Structure 1
Amino acid sequence: MQDEQKPKQSQPGKRDSAPKETRLIVTEDTELMVFLLAKLPHKNRNNIKSILRDRQVWINDQAVTQFNHPLKANQEVVVRWTKLGPERKYPGLTIIFEDEHLIIINKNEGILSMATNKGSERTAYSILYDHVKRDNPSNKIFIIHRLDRETSGLMMFAKSERVQKLVQETWGPTTKERIYLAAIEGKLDPPNGTHISYLHESKALIVYSHKNPEHGQEAITHYETVKSNSSYSLLKVTLETGRKNQIRVHMQDLGHPIVGDRKYGASADPIGRLGLHAWSLSFVHPITGQRLRFETPVPRRFMALF
Protein backbone atom coordinates (compact mmCIF):
# COMPACT_ATOMS: atom_id res chain seq x y z
CA MET A 1 0.00 0.00 0.00
CA GLN A 2 1.57 3.28 -1.13
CA ASP A 3 0.47 6.73 0.03
CA GLU A 4 1.52 9.69 -2.11
CA GLN A 5 3.65 12.22 -0.25
CA LYS A 6 4.41 15.53 -1.96
CA PRO A 7 6.73 17.90 -0.10
CA LYS A 8 6.67 21.39 -1.53
CA GLN A 9 9.63 21.82 -3.90
CA SER A 10 12.33 24.43 -3.37
CA GLN A 11 12.92 27.01 -6.07
CA PRO A 12 15.69 26.36 -8.65
CA GLY A 13 18.98 28.06 -7.87
CA LYS A 14 18.21 28.37 -4.15
CA ARG A 15 19.39 26.27 -1.24
CA ASP A 16 16.98 23.55 -0.20
CA SER A 17 15.07 24.28 2.98
CA ALA A 18 12.48 22.40 5.00
CA PRO A 19 9.21 21.95 3.08
CA LYS A 20 6.42 24.34 4.04
CA GLU A 21 3.87 21.56 3.79
CA THR A 22 3.53 17.83 3.21
CA ARG A 23 0.65 16.39 1.17
CA LEU A 24 -0.58 12.87 1.88
CA ILE A 25 -3.17 10.85 -0.05
CA VAL A 26 -5.39 8.44 1.90
CA THR A 27 -5.69 4.98 0.34
CA GLU A 28 -8.21 3.39 2.73
CA ASP A 29 -10.75 4.49 5.34
CA THR A 30 -9.10 5.17 8.68
CA GLU A 31 -8.79 7.74 11.50
CA LEU A 32 -6.56 10.79 11.35
CA MET A 33 -4.23 9.87 14.25
CA VAL A 34 -3.63 6.37 12.91
CA PHE A 35 -2.94 7.76 9.45
CA LEU A 36 -0.52 10.47 10.59
CA LEU A 37 1.44 8.11 12.84
CA ALA A 38 1.91 5.75 9.89
CA LYS A 39 2.83 8.46 7.37
CA LEU A 40 4.98 10.61 9.69
CA PRO A 41 7.16 7.95 11.39
CA HIS A 42 9.49 10.62 12.83
CA LYS A 43 6.56 11.96 14.90
CA ASN A 44 5.13 10.29 18.02
CA ARG A 45 1.61 10.55 19.39
CA ASN A 46 2.38 13.67 21.45
CA ASN A 47 3.99 15.35 18.42
CA ILE A 48 0.86 14.65 16.38
CA LYS A 49 -1.39 16.05 19.13
CA SER A 50 0.69 19.25 19.12
CA ILE A 51 0.41 19.54 15.33
CA LEU A 52 -3.35 19.11 15.59
CA ARG A 53 -3.63 21.61 18.45
CA ASP A 54 -1.72 24.20 16.45
CA ARG A 55 -4.10 23.67 13.48
CA GLN A 56 -1.37 22.50 11.13
CA VAL A 57 -3.43 19.66 9.64
CA TRP A 58 -5.82 20.63 6.83
CA ILE A 59 -8.46 18.52 5.08
CA ASN A 60 -10.76 19.92 2.38
CA ASP A 61 -9.15 23.36 2.86
CA GLN A 62 -10.08 23.42 6.55
CA ALA A 63 -7.97 22.98 9.70
CA VAL A 64 -8.83 19.81 11.63
CA THR A 65 -7.95 19.41 15.32
CA GLN A 66 -9.72 16.14 16.28
CA PHE A 67 -7.37 13.14 16.43
CA ASN A 68 -10.19 10.71 15.60
CA HIS A 69 -11.42 12.62 12.53
CA PRO A 70 -12.59 9.97 10.01
CA LEU A 71 -10.73 9.76 6.71
CA LYS A 72 -11.98 8.35 3.42
CA ALA A 73 -9.94 6.80 0.63
CA ASN A 74 -8.62 9.35 -1.91
CA GLN A 75 -8.85 12.30 0.50
CA GLU A 76 -5.82 14.56 0.70
CA VAL A 77 -4.34 15.48 4.08
CA VAL A 78 -2.06 18.52 4.14
CA VAL A 79 0.36 19.06 7.03
CA ARG A 80 1.55 22.67 7.15
CA TRP A 81 4.77 23.05 9.09
CA THR A 82 4.08 26.66 10.08
CA LYS A 83 2.26 26.80 13.41
CA LEU A 84 -0.96 28.79 13.58
CA GLY A 85 -1.28 28.26 17.30
CA PRO A 86 -4.49 27.77 19.28
CA GLU A 87 -7.43 30.13 18.87
CA ARG A 88 -7.14 33.43 20.73
CA LYS A 89 -10.22 34.60 22.60
CA TYR A 90 -11.08 38.20 23.48
CA PRO A 91 -14.35 39.60 24.88
CA GLY A 92 -16.56 39.83 21.81
CA LEU A 93 -14.54 37.77 19.35
CA THR A 94 -12.26 34.79 18.76
CA ILE A 95 -9.26 34.82 16.41
CA ILE A 96 -9.48 31.54 14.49
CA PHE A 97 -6.71 32.18 11.94
CA GLU A 98 -3.72 34.48 11.83
CA ASP A 99 -0.61 34.70 9.68
CA GLU A 100 1.64 37.58 8.67
CA HIS A 101 -0.96 38.84 6.17
CA LEU A 102 -4.49 38.10 7.44
CA ILE A 103 -6.61 37.62 10.54
CA ILE A 104 -9.92 35.72 10.48
CA ILE A 105 -12.26 36.13 13.46
CA ASN A 106 -15.55 34.77 14.73
CA LYS A 107 -17.38 37.91 15.93
CA ASN A 108 -20.05 37.73 18.62
CA GLU A 109 -23.40 39.39 18.08
CA GLY A 110 -23.69 42.82 19.70
CA ILE A 111 -20.23 44.07 18.81
CA LEU A 112 -19.60 46.63 16.07
CA SER A 113 -17.22 45.75 13.25
CA MET A 114 -15.76 49.27 13.31
CA ALA A 115 -16.55 52.50 15.12
CA THR A 116 -19.12 54.79 13.49
CA ASN A 117 -18.06 57.81 15.57
CA LYS A 118 -15.32 58.88 17.97
CA GLY A 119 -16.84 57.06 20.93
CA SER A 120 -14.87 54.74 23.20
CA GLU A 121 -16.98 51.64 22.52
CA ARG A 122 -14.94 48.49 21.88
CA THR A 123 -15.22 47.18 18.34
CA ALA A 124 -13.79 44.22 16.45
CA TYR A 125 -11.36 46.63 14.79
CA SER A 126 -10.17 48.20 18.06
CA ILE A 127 -9.65 44.78 19.70
CA LEU A 128 -7.53 43.57 16.78
CA TYR A 129 -5.68 46.90 16.64
CA ASP A 130 -4.55 46.36 20.24
CA HIS A 131 -3.79 42.69 19.48
CA VAL A 132 -1.33 43.39 16.66
CA LYS A 133 0.26 46.32 18.52
CA ARG A 134 1.26 44.00 21.36
CA ASP A 135 3.67 42.20 19.03
CA ASN A 136 5.04 45.36 17.42
CA PRO A 137 3.89 48.97 17.98
CA SER A 138 4.28 49.66 14.25
CA ASN A 139 1.83 46.92 13.24
CA LYS A 140 -1.48 47.96 11.67
CA ILE A 141 -4.86 46.38 10.93
CA PHE A 142 -7.23 46.98 8.00
CA ILE A 143 -10.85 45.90 7.75
CA ILE A 144 -11.81 43.98 4.59
CA HIS A 145 -15.56 43.58 5.03
CA ARG A 146 -18.10 44.31 7.76
CA LEU A 147 -20.92 42.58 9.59
CA ASP A 148 -23.88 44.35 11.19
CA ARG A 149 -23.58 44.80 14.95
CA GLU A 150 -26.20 42.11 15.66
CA THR A 151 -24.84 39.64 13.08
CA SER A 152 -22.31 37.12 14.37
CA GLY A 153 -19.72 35.08 12.52
CA LEU A 154 -16.70 35.22 10.25
CA MET A 155 -14.88 38.41 9.36
CA MET A 156 -11.57 39.01 7.60
CA PHE A 157 -8.94 41.66 8.37
CA ALA A 158 -5.63 42.47 6.64
CA LYS A 159 -2.35 43.40 8.26
CA SER A 160 -1.34 45.76 5.47
CA GLU A 161 -3.08 48.13 3.09
CA ARG A 162 -1.58 46.17 0.18
CA VAL A 163 -3.21 42.90 1.26
CA GLN A 164 -6.49 44.69 2.00
CA LYS A 165 -6.59 46.03 -1.57
CA LEU A 166 -5.58 42.66 -3.05
CA VAL A 167 -8.47 40.91 -1.31
CA GLN A 168 -11.05 43.61 -1.99
CA GLU A 169 -10.11 44.03 -5.65
CA THR A 170 -10.30 40.26 -6.32
CA TRP A 171 -13.17 39.47 -3.92
CA GLY A 172 -15.44 37.96 -6.58
CA PRO A 173 -13.09 35.47 -8.26
CA THR A 174 -11.06 34.55 -5.15
CA THR A 175 -13.97 34.11 -2.70
CA LYS A 176 -15.11 30.54 -3.31
CA GLU A 177 -17.79 30.28 -0.64
CA ARG A 178 -19.57 32.74 1.64
CA ILE A 179 -22.49 31.16 3.46
CA TYR A 180 -24.71 32.61 6.19
CA LEU A 181 -27.21 30.90 8.47
CA ALA A 182 -30.51 32.74 8.78
CA ALA A 183 -33.32 31.93 11.21
CA ILE A 184 -36.52 33.30 9.68
CA GLU A 185 -40.19 33.56 10.55
CA GLY A 186 -42.42 30.91 8.96
CA LYS A 187 -41.68 28.47 6.16
CA LEU A 188 -40.63 29.30 2.58
CA ASP A 189 -42.55 27.85 -0.36
CA PRO A 190 -40.67 26.70 -2.34
CA PRO A 191 -38.04 25.90 0.34
CA ASN A 192 -35.05 26.70 -1.91
CA GLY A 193 -34.48 29.39 -4.49
CA THR A 194 -32.80 32.61 -5.63
CA HIS A 195 -33.98 36.17 -5.03
CA ILE A 196 -32.78 39.10 -7.15
CA SER A 197 -33.54 42.79 -6.65
CA TYR A 198 -31.87 46.20 -6.70
CA LEU A 199 -31.00 47.83 -3.38
CA HIS A 200 -30.44 51.41 -2.35
CA GLU A 201 -29.97 53.04 1.05
CA SER A 202 -32.00 56.05 2.15
CA LYS A 203 -30.71 59.00 4.11
CA ALA A 204 -32.33 57.40 7.14
CA LEU A 205 -29.95 54.40 6.66
CA ILE A 206 -32.75 52.02 5.66
CA VAL A 207 -32.12 49.80 2.62
CA TYR A 208 -34.96 49.49 0.12
CA SER A 209 -35.49 46.82 -2.52
CA HIS A 210 -36.65 47.52 -6.10
CA LYS A 211 -37.25 45.51 -9.26
CA ASN A 212 -36.09 48.39 -11.45
CA PRO A 213 -32.29 48.27 -12.04
CA GLU A 214 -32.23 52.06 -12.26
CA HIS A 215 -33.15 52.28 -8.57
CA GLY A 216 -30.21 50.54 -6.97
CA GLN A 217 -27.36 48.01 -7.10
CA GLU A 218 -28.08 44.43 -8.13
CA ALA A 219 -28.28 42.00 -5.22
CA ILE A 220 -28.44 38.20 -5.70
CA THR A 221 -29.22 35.86 -2.79
CA HIS A 222 -29.44 32.05 -2.99
CA TYR A 223 -31.19 30.24 -0.14
CA GLU A 224 -31.78 26.65 0.97
CA THR A 225 -33.98 25.46 3.84
CA VAL A 226 -32.07 23.29 6.33
CA LYS A 227 -34.70 22.90 9.08
CA SER A 228 -38.24 24.13 9.59
CA ASN A 229 -41.31 23.79 11.77
CA SER A 230 -44.66 25.54 11.83
CA SER A 231 -43.16 28.77 13.21
CA TYR A 232 -39.57 29.12 12.02
CA SER A 233 -37.04 27.97 9.43
CA LEU A 234 -33.25 27.78 9.32
CA LEU A 235 -31.73 28.69 5.96
CA LYS A 236 -28.31 28.35 4.39
CA VAL A 237 -27.87 31.60 2.45
CA THR A 238 -25.18 32.10 -0.19
CA LEU A 239 -24.37 35.59 -1.40
CA GLU A 240 -23.51 36.21 -5.03
CA THR A 241 -23.25 39.91 -4.23
CA GLY A 242 -22.47 41.58 -0.90
CA ARG A 243 -24.73 44.59 -0.49
CA LYS A 244 -25.46 46.23 2.85
CA ASN A 245 -28.32 44.45 4.72
CA GLN A 246 -28.85 42.26 1.62
CA ILE A 247 -30.04 39.10 3.35
CA ARG A 248 -32.23 41.01 5.80
CA VAL A 249 -33.96 42.98 3.02
CA HIS A 250 -34.39 39.94 0.77
CA MET A 251 -35.99 37.88 3.52
CA GLN A 252 -38.40 40.77 4.08
CA ASP A 253 -39.12 40.76 0.32
CA LEU A 254 -40.01 37.07 0.54
CA GLY A 255 -42.42 37.70 3.43
CA HIS A 256 -40.29 35.77 5.94
CA PRO A 257 -38.13 38.28 7.82
CA ILE A 258 -35.20 37.23 9.96
CA VAL A 259 -36.22 36.65 13.58
CA GLY A 260 -35.52 39.63 15.81
CA ASP A 261 -35.13 41.98 12.83
CA ARG A 262 -37.61 44.72 13.73
CA LYS A 263 -35.94 47.06 11.22
CA TYR A 264 -36.97 44.80 8.34
CA GLY A 265 -40.36 43.47 9.30
CA ALA A 266 -39.90 40.86 12.04
CA SER A 267 -42.84 40.40 14.41
CA ALA A 268 -41.05 38.19 16.95
CA ASP A 269 -37.72 38.01 18.81
CA PRO A 270 -37.66 34.39 20.07
CA ILE A 271 -33.88 34.11 20.56
CA GLY A 272 -33.10 37.58 21.94
CA ARG A 273 -30.88 38.52 19.00
CA LEU A 274 -30.86 38.89 15.23
CA GLY A 275 -31.09 35.47 13.61
CA LEU A 276 -28.16 35.94 11.20
CA HIS A 277 -24.72 34.32 11.38
CA ALA A 278 -21.78 34.38 8.91
CA TRP A 279 -21.18 30.63 9.05
CA SER A 280 -18.69 29.61 6.35
CA LEU A 281 -15.98 31.37 4.33
CA SER A 282 -13.66 29.91 1.69
CA PHE A 283 -11.17 31.95 -0.32
CA VAL A 284 -7.80 31.88 -2.05
CA HIS A 285 -5.08 33.44 0.10
CA PRO A 286 -3.92 36.61 -1.71
CA ILE A 287 -0.22 35.98 -1.01
CA THR A 288 0.31 32.22 -0.64
CA GLY A 289 -2.30 31.15 -3.19
CA GLN A 290 -3.60 28.49 -0.79
CA ARG A 291 -7.33 27.86 -0.66
CA LEU A 292 -8.55 28.24 2.91
CA ARG A 293 -11.93 27.36 4.36
CA PHE A 294 -13.37 28.29 7.76
CA GLU A 295 -16.61 27.18 9.37
CA THR A 296 -18.01 28.21 12.75
CA PRO A 297 -20.44 26.35 15.04
CA VAL A 298 -24.15 26.95 14.53
CA PRO A 299 -25.29 29.35 17.31
CA ARG A 300 -27.09 27.34 19.99
CA ARG A 301 -29.98 29.78 20.15
CA PHE A 302 -30.68 29.17 16.46
CA MET A 303 -31.01 25.43 17.05
CA ALA A 304 -33.22 26.01 20.12
CA LEU A 305 -35.97 27.11 17.71
CA PHE A 306 -36.20 23.56 16.41
Structure 2
Amino acid sequence: MAKPEWIELPDCEPIPILYEDRSVLAVDKPPGWLLIPVHWQRTARNLQAALESSIRAGDWWARSRGLKYLRHVHRLDGETSGVLLLAKSPGALSAYSRLFQTGRVQKVYLAVVRGQVRRTQWVCRLKLAPSPDRTGRIRVHHVHGKPAETFFRTVAIGQDVTLVECRPRTGRTHQIRVHLAAGGHPVLGDHLYGRAEDEPTNLGLRAVQLAYVDPFTRKPVDIRAPWSQFLAEHGFEKVVWEPERQSIP
Protein backbone atom coordinates (compact mmCIF):
# COMPACT_ATOMS: atom_id res chain seq x y z
CA MET A 1 0.00 0.00 0.00
CA ALA A 2 1.35 3.44 -0.96
CA LYS A 3 2.30 5.92 1.70
CA PRO A 4 -0.46 8.54 2.17
CA GLU A 5 0.28 12.03 0.91
CA TRP A 6 -1.26 13.64 3.97
CA ILE A 7 -1.24 13.48 7.76
CA GLU A 8 -4.46 12.68 9.57
CA LEU A 9 -4.91 14.08 13.09
CA PRO A 10 -8.03 14.16 15.29
CA ASP A 11 -10.48 17.04 14.68
CA CYS A 12 -8.51 18.30 11.70
CA GLU A 13 -8.74 18.16 7.93
CA PRO A 14 -5.95 16.00 6.43
CA ILE A 15 -2.69 17.97 6.37
CA PRO A 16 -1.05 17.76 2.90
CA ILE A 17 2.55 16.58 2.67
CA LEU A 18 4.30 18.91 0.23
CA TYR A 19 7.76 17.33 0.12
CA GLU A 20 9.65 14.41 1.57
CA ASP A 21 13.12 12.91 1.45
CA ARG A 22 15.20 10.71 3.77
CA SER A 23 15.83 13.54 6.24
CA VAL A 24 12.81 15.84 6.25
CA LEU A 25 9.12 16.07 5.57
CA ALA A 26 7.34 19.35 4.72
CA VAL A 27 3.63 19.91 5.31
CA ASP A 28 1.09 22.60 4.49
CA LYS A 29 0.34 23.72 8.04
CA PRO A 30 -3.26 24.83 8.51
CA PRO A 31 -4.05 27.94 10.58
CA GLY A 32 -4.90 27.42 14.22
CA TRP A 33 -2.16 24.93 15.10
CA LEU A 34 0.51 26.09 17.57
CA LEU A 35 4.20 25.12 17.55
CA ILE A 36 4.89 25.05 21.27
CA PRO A 37 6.57 22.65 23.74
CA VAL A 38 4.93 19.23 23.93
CA HIS A 39 4.32 19.52 27.68
CA TRP A 40 2.24 22.69 27.19
CA GLN A 41 -1.22 21.15 27.41
CA ARG A 42 -3.45 24.21 27.77
CA THR A 43 -4.60 23.76 24.18
CA ALA A 44 -5.65 20.82 22.04
CA ARG A 45 -4.04 22.52 19.02
CA ASN A 46 -0.41 21.75 19.88
CA LEU A 47 0.87 20.47 16.53
CA GLN A 48 4.11 18.95 17.83
CA ALA A 49 2.26 17.08 20.58
CA ALA A 50 -0.37 15.86 18.13
CA LEU A 51 2.27 14.56 15.70
CA GLU A 52 4.15 12.71 18.43
CA SER A 53 0.93 11.19 19.77
CA SER A 54 -0.02 10.01 16.28
CA ILE A 55 3.42 8.44 15.75
CA ARG A 56 3.21 6.61 19.09
CA ALA A 57 -0.25 5.34 18.17
CA GLY A 58 1.13 3.84 14.96
CA ASP A 59 -1.18 5.78 12.66
CA TRP A 60 -0.74 4.69 9.06
CA TRP A 61 0.76 7.92 7.68
CA ALA A 62 3.64 7.49 10.16
CA ARG A 63 3.84 3.70 10.30
CA SER A 64 4.04 3.43 6.49
CA ARG A 65 7.17 5.59 6.66
CA GLY A 66 8.72 3.87 9.67
CA LEU A 67 8.70 7.18 11.51
CA LYS A 68 9.83 7.20 15.12
CA TYR A 69 10.75 10.89 15.31
CA LEU A 70 9.40 14.09 13.74
CA ARG A 71 10.07 17.61 14.96
CA HIS A 72 9.54 21.06 13.50
CA VAL A 73 12.77 22.73 12.37
CA HIS A 74 11.39 26.28 12.44
CA ARG A 75 8.19 27.98 13.58
CA LEU A 76 5.13 29.52 12.00
CA ASP A 77 2.76 31.67 14.03
CA GLY A 78 -0.34 29.81 15.16
CA GLU A 79 -2.63 31.53 12.65
CA THR A 80 -0.12 31.48 9.78
CA SER A 81 -0.57 28.72 7.21
CA GLY A 82 1.86 27.23 4.72
CA VAL A 83 5.18 25.43 4.37
CA LEU A 84 6.48 23.89 7.58
CA LEU A 85 9.65 21.77 7.59
CA LEU A 86 9.89 18.76 9.93
CA ALA A 87 13.03 16.73 10.66
CA LYS A 88 12.95 12.92 10.81
CA SER A 89 15.90 12.51 13.21
CA PRO A 90 17.85 14.50 15.80
CA GLY A 91 20.78 14.66 13.38
CA ALA A 92 18.60 16.10 10.64
CA LEU A 93 17.08 18.57 13.10
CA SER A 94 20.54 19.85 14.00
CA ALA A 95 21.69 20.14 10.38
CA TYR A 96 18.57 21.92 9.12
CA SER A 97 18.37 24.17 12.17
CA ARG A 98 21.85 25.44 11.26
CA LEU A 99 20.57 26.35 7.77
CA PHE A 100 17.88 28.55 9.30
CA GLN A 101 20.19 30.02 11.94
CA THR A 102 22.80 31.02 9.37
CA GLY A 103 20.34 32.52 6.88
CA ARG A 104 20.77 29.84 4.23
CA VAL A 105 17.04 29.25 3.71
CA GLN A 106 15.02 31.39 1.32
CA LYS A 107 11.58 32.06 2.85
CA VAL A 108 8.73 33.63 0.92
CA TYR A 109 5.34 34.65 2.31
CA LEU A 110 2.25 36.30 0.88
CA ALA A 111 0.46 38.83 3.08
CA VAL A 112 -2.80 40.68 2.62
CA VAL A 113 -2.51 43.98 4.45
CA ARG A 114 -4.80 46.86 5.37
CA GLY A 115 -4.79 49.89 3.06
CA GLN A 116 -3.35 50.53 -0.38
CA VAL A 117 0.43 50.35 -0.36
CA ARG A 118 1.93 52.82 -2.80
CA ARG A 119 5.53 51.64 -2.66
CA THR A 120 6.64 49.10 -5.25
CA GLN A 121 9.24 47.50 -3.01
CA TRP A 122 11.09 48.31 0.19
CA VAL A 123 13.23 46.85 2.96
CA CYS A 124 12.40 47.20 6.67
CA ARG A 125 15.27 46.93 9.17
CA LEU A 126 13.53 47.97 12.39
CA LYS A 127 14.96 46.18 15.43
CA LEU A 128 12.57 44.01 17.43
CA ALA A 129 12.25 43.17 21.13
CA PRO A 130 9.64 41.54 23.41
CA SER A 131 7.03 43.95 24.75
CA PRO A 132 7.34 44.43 28.53
CA ASP A 133 3.61 45.00 29.03
CA ARG A 134 2.15 42.05 27.15
CA THR A 135 3.49 38.49 27.01
CA GLY A 136 3.87 37.19 23.46
CA ARG A 137 3.81 40.62 21.86
CA ILE A 138 6.81 42.07 20.00
CA ARG A 139 7.61 45.75 19.59
CA VAL A 140 10.05 47.91 17.67
CA HIS A 141 12.93 49.01 19.89
CA HIS A 142 15.82 50.93 18.32
CA VAL A 143 18.16 50.47 21.31
CA HIS A 144 17.51 47.04 22.83
CA GLY A 145 15.93 45.32 19.84
CA LYS A 146 17.60 42.54 17.89
CA PRO A 147 18.44 43.17 14.21
CA ALA A 148 15.64 42.18 11.81
CA GLU A 149 15.34 42.61 8.07
CA THR A 150 12.43 41.96 5.70
CA PHE A 151 12.16 42.64 1.97
CA PHE A 152 8.67 43.57 0.74
CA ARG A 153 7.23 43.87 -2.76
CA THR A 154 3.75 45.04 -3.68
CA VAL A 155 2.06 42.41 -5.87
CA ALA A 156 -1.48 43.78 -6.33
CA ILE A 157 -3.75 46.46 -4.88
CA GLY A 158 -7.39 45.78 -4.06
CA GLN A 159 -10.17 47.74 -2.38
CA ASP A 160 -8.54 49.00 0.83
CA VAL A 161 -6.20 45.98 0.88
CA THR A 162 -2.87 45.14 -0.75
CA LEU A 163 -1.22 41.83 -1.60
CA VAL A 164 2.44 41.92 -0.54
CA GLU A 165 5.29 39.47 -1.14
CA CYS A 166 7.44 39.16 1.99
CA ARG A 167 10.97 37.76 2.26
CA PRO A 168 12.28 37.76 5.85
CA ARG A 169 16.06 37.67 5.91
CA THR A 170 16.14 37.10 9.66
CA GLY A 171 13.85 34.94 11.76
CA ARG A 172 12.55 37.07 14.63
CA THR A 173 9.23 36.29 16.28
CA HIS A 174 6.30 37.98 14.46
CA GLN A 175 8.84 39.77 12.26
CA ILE A 176 6.70 40.19 9.15
CA ARG A 177 3.63 41.21 11.12
CA VAL A 178 5.45 43.82 13.22
CA HIS A 179 7.35 45.29 10.27
CA LEU A 180 4.16 45.67 8.23
CA ALA A 181 2.22 47.14 11.14
CA ALA A 182 5.04 49.59 11.85
CA GLY A 183 4.68 50.83 8.28
CA GLY A 184 0.99 51.50 8.78
CA HIS A 185 -0.26 48.39 6.96
CA PRO A 186 -1.01 45.58 9.44
CA VAL A 187 -1.81 42.12 8.14
CA LEU A 188 -5.52 41.52 7.65
CA GLY A 189 -6.99 39.71 10.65
CA ASP A 190 -4.03 40.53 12.90
CA HIS A 191 -5.67 41.46 16.21
CA LEU A 192 -2.32 41.62 18.01
CA TYR A 193 -0.78 44.31 15.82
CA GLY A 194 -3.73 45.58 13.82
CA ARG A 195 -7.11 47.06 14.69
CA ALA A 196 -8.83 45.49 17.69
CA GLU A 197 -12.25 46.43 16.34
CA ASP A 198 -11.84 44.37 13.16
CA GLU A 199 -14.26 41.48 12.73
CA PRO A 200 -12.73 38.02 13.30
CA THR A 201 -11.09 36.64 10.18
CA ASN A 202 -8.21 34.31 9.35
CA LEU A 203 -4.79 35.93 9.43
CA GLY A 204 -3.90 37.06 5.92
CA LEU A 205 -0.40 35.55 5.98
CA ARG A 206 0.76 32.40 4.21
CA ALA A 207 4.22 30.81 3.89
CA VAL A 208 4.42 29.77 0.24
CA GLN A 209 8.07 28.81 -0.33
CA LEU A 210 11.14 27.38 1.36
CA ALA A 211 14.28 26.94 -0.73
CA TYR A 212 17.70 25.72 0.38
CA VAL A 213 20.65 23.53 -0.51
CA ASP A 214 20.28 20.13 1.16
CA PRO A 215 23.02 19.89 3.83
CA PHE A 216 23.56 16.18 3.09
CA THR A 217 23.19 15.82 -0.70
CA ARG A 218 24.19 19.42 -1.62
CA LYS A 219 21.28 19.51 -4.07
CA PRO A 220 18.91 22.50 -4.27
CA VAL A 221 15.44 21.97 -2.80
CA ASP A 222 12.46 24.21 -3.57
CA ILE A 223 9.28 23.52 -1.55
CA ARG A 224 6.09 25.40 -2.33
CA ALA A 225 2.62 25.50 -0.83
CA PRO A 226 -0.28 26.33 -3.19
CA TRP A 227 -1.45 29.94 -3.02
CA SER A 228 -4.38 30.19 -5.47
CA GLN A 229 -7.02 29.53 -2.81
CA PHE A 230 -5.40 32.05 -0.46
CA LEU A 231 -5.52 34.69 -3.21
CA ALA A 232 -9.14 33.89 -4.07
CA GLU A 233 -10.23 34.11 -0.43
CA HIS A 234 -8.95 37.68 -0.30
CA GLY A 235 -10.27 38.87 -3.65
CA PHE A 236 -7.08 38.42 -5.69
CA GLU A 237 -8.16 35.39 -7.74
CA LYS A 238 -7.18 37.08 -11.02
CA VAL A 239 -3.64 37.85 -9.87
CA VAL A 240 -0.86 35.89 -11.54
CA TRP A 241 2.17 35.59 -9.28
CA GLU A 242 5.27 33.43 -8.97
CA PRO A 243 8.17 33.83 -6.53
CA GLU A 244 11.23 35.21 -8.29
CA ARG A 245 14.16 32.83 -8.55
CA GLN A 246 17.07 33.88 -6.37
CA SER A 247 20.41 32.32 -5.70
CA ILE A 248 20.37 30.23 -2.53
CA PRO A 249 23.32 30.93 -0.19
- TM over 0.5, yes or no? yes
Q: How far is the alpha carbon of 1:267 from its aligned partner?
A: 5.8
Instruction: Show structure 1 runs of 4+ deviating over 6 A.
Output: none
Q: How far is the alpha carbon of 1:299 from its aligned partner?
A: 5.8
Q: Does the C-alpha gap of structure 1 residues 270 and 118 become closer, same or farther in structure 2, counting only changes over 3 Å?
A: closer
SS in 2 for 1:153: strand
**2:172 counterpart of 1:243:** yes
Aligned equivalents of 1:225, 1:115: Cα separation in 2: 36
Which of 232, 239, 249 aligns to 1:303? It is 232
Aligned equivalents of 2:197, 2:233: Cα separation in 1: 15
TM-score normalised by structure 2 residue count: 0.79
Which of 17, 27, 30 aligns to 1:105? It is 27
Q: Does the C-alpha gap of structure 1 residues 119 and 262 become closer, same or farther in structure 2, counting only changes over 3 Å?
A: closer
Q: How far is the alpha carbon of 1:138 from its aligned partner?
A: 7.9
Residue of structure 2 equivalent to 1:126: 49
- Structure 1 letter corresponding to 2:5: E
Contact 1:194 1:223 in 2 (8 A): yes
Report Cα offsets for 1:277-306 as digits up to 9, x if no partner: 111111122222221111112263543433
Q: 1 or 2 for the larger relative contact order (CA 8 Å, sep ≥6)?
A: 2
Q: How far is the alpha carbon of 1:268 from its aligned partner?
A: 6.7
Q: How far is the alpha carbon of 1:183 from its aligned partner?
A: 0.5
Which of 133, 146, 159 aligns to 2:75? It is 146
Q: How far is the alpha carbon of 1:173 from its aligned partner?
A: 5.0
Residue of structure 1 equivalent to 2:244: none
Q: Does the C-alpha gap of structure 1 residues 258 and 299 become closer, same or farther in structure 2, counting only changes over 3 Å?
A: farther
Residue of structure 2 equivalent to 1:219: 148
Instruction: Using the aligned pairs only, state the percent identity.
Output: 27
Contact 2:67 2:88 in 1 (8 A): no
TM-score normalised by structure 1 residue count: 0.65
Residue of structure 2 equivalent to 1:24: none
After TM superposition, the structure 1 = structure 2 runs for residues 1-306 of structure 1, keeping only pairs within 5 Å, are 87-90=5-8, 91=12, 93-115=15-37, 117-119=40-42, 121-133=44-56, 134=58, 135=63, 139-171=68-100, 172-175=102-105, 177-203=106-132, 204-210=135-141, 212=142, 214-266=143-195, 269=198, 272-298=201-227, 300-306=229-235
Q: How far is the alpha carbon of 1:260 from its aligned partner?
A: 0.7
Q: Which has the larger radius of gyration?
A: 1
Q: Does the C-alpha gap of structure 1 residues 256 and 268 become closer, same or farther in structure 2, counting only changes over 3 Å?
A: farther
Aligned equivalents of 2:43, 2:188: Cα separation in 1: 30
Aligned equivalents of 1:250, 1:154: Cα separation in 2: 21
Contact 1:221 1:250 in 2 (8 A): yes
- Structure 1 letter corresponding to 2:139: Y
Report Cα offsets for 1:214-235 as digits up to 9, x if no partner: 3111110111111112310111
Aligned equivalents of 2:96, 2:72: Cα separation in 1: 11
Q: Does the C-alpha gap of structure 1 residues 260 and 299 become closer, same or farther in structure 2, counting only changes over 3 Å?
A: farther
Q: How far is the alpha carbon of 1:132 from its aligned partner?
A: 4.3
- Structure 1 letter corresponding to 2:104: T
Name structure 2 gaps, 5 residues minimum: 236-249
SS in 2 for 1:215: coil
Report Cα offsets for 1:118-145 as digits up to 9, x if no partner: 3461432234324544338881222211
Name structure 1 gaps, 5 residues minimum: 1-53, 55-84
SS in 2 for 1:183: strand
